[in-house]
Amino acid sequence: MVATVAHTGSAQPAASRDSALEAVAVRVEGFAGCPSSEEFWRRLQHRAPGIRLTRAGEPGRIFVVRFEQAENGDATGRLRILDVEGSALEREVSGATCVEVAEALALVAAVAAGPDSSDTRSEGGAAQQRAAGSPRPSTAEPLAVPVHDARSPTWNLVVRGQASIRTQILPVSLYGAGAGFEVARDGSSLWQPALGAMVEATLTGAASTDHIVPNTEMTAQLTVVRLFASPLRLRAGAVELRPYASVDIGRLALEGRGSGLTRDAQNRMFWIAVALLAEADVRLGAGWVVGASVGAEVHPLLYQFKYTDRDVYQVGDVGLIAGLSLSYRFE
């Protein structure tokens, strides 16, 4: 979507005036209390009125702002300006509050975006001084203009490590860990697909099966390759929500032992499972993300471990799957 700004005193058609403005995209990441993408755009457009937001799929300069909070409570902001040609300009500002830092970064961004703006001519020197680390309190008033965060969609690579828990494979839960990658689309619309793969293995779990055959126990270990995809993403500040569908393909190793068996027995079986999950991620800053997921896993094949011709253990049809993850997002 495009920012809507009222113009007066000109008979030039609106579409022509709009096309004469430079198209830019704005993305802001930060902690609680920091300006959003919309609020930062208001500050930037107020100082550089010769710009507008990009439309969907339209190229333009990208202003990426990341706010981080220091241990002493101060705020640090990093501004990265990406040109259409691929060149980048970076600036960093520190201050007492996130609002002060945002004000200084907006002035720095305005110098780069609109050097002919009256505000940037009069305050350009102050902006450069704040970029060196001496911000001053915000004095700009927000404009009463409906503005939307309409940045151009981009694709990002995410590297992820995950710990997981699964049920209904053994009579006890199986715990595992894995690592993999994800390619995700980052944009302003709800449609932000993602897909990826992960290799995961569980610890060997052991469970008593005396209820099947006295004096016996069973162990299991699962190794899988997980393929997963998500069609959309919801985001509120640093929190993101995604639904995922996944397919696991691998090997399930089951072993029975104990004095109740005439001999120990082992099964190595092809494993396949499908799952639907909901995942919540929290951005920590500097590309790091922590997440938690939970869902239902369906086991479409009938897996049985035979103790005797009459006594068997059967893997459950549906189990719970949950996980905790730590990811790094390359942007």
- How does pLDDT run across 273-289, given as a tens digit for each residue? 999 999 999 988 778 99
- How does pLDDT run across 131-178, given as a tens digit for each residue? 444 433 333 333 333 333 444 457 889 999 999 999 999 899 999 999
Name the helix (H) or strand (E) containing 43: helix 37-47
- Residue range(s) occupied by CATH 3.30.160.100 in the chain: 14-131
What are the tokens at 142?
A: 């927000």
Strands 174-186 and 154-166: antiparallel
What are the tokens at 244?
A: 């995922």
What are the tokens at 46?
A: 């107020």
Span of 98-102, 155-159, 191-195, 296-300 with lowest mean pLDDT: 98-102
What are the tokens at 1?
A: 């979507």
What are the tokens at 85?
A: 């040609």
Span of 21-30, 129-138, 260-269 with lowest mean pLDDT: 129-138
Average pLDDT over residues 262-278: 87
d(CA 321, CA 226): 13
What confidence score (pLDDT) does residue 20 get?
63
Neighbouring-strand partners of residue 326 = 161, 290
Query: With pLDDT > 70 as the criterion, what percentage of the chain qualifies?
Result: 79
Superfamily classification of domain 14-131: Ribosome hibernation promotion factor-like (3.30.160.100)
Instruction: Please choose, from the candidates 180, 175, 172, the residue with its C-alpha nearest in 3D space to the C-alpha of residue 246.
Output: 180
Q: Which residue has the higher pLDDT, 65 or 285?
A: 65
- Residue range(s) occupied by CATH 2.40.160.70 in the chain: 154-330
d(CA 220, CA 329): 34
d(CA 106, CA 79): 9
What are the tokens at 114?
A: 């609109």
Name the helix (H) or strand (E) containing 331: none
Helices and strands of the chain, counted as H and E runs: 4, 17
Superfamily classification of domain 154-330: outer membrane protein from Thermus thermophilus HB27. (2.40.160.70)
Confidence of residue 298 (pLDDT cuts 50, 70, 90): very high
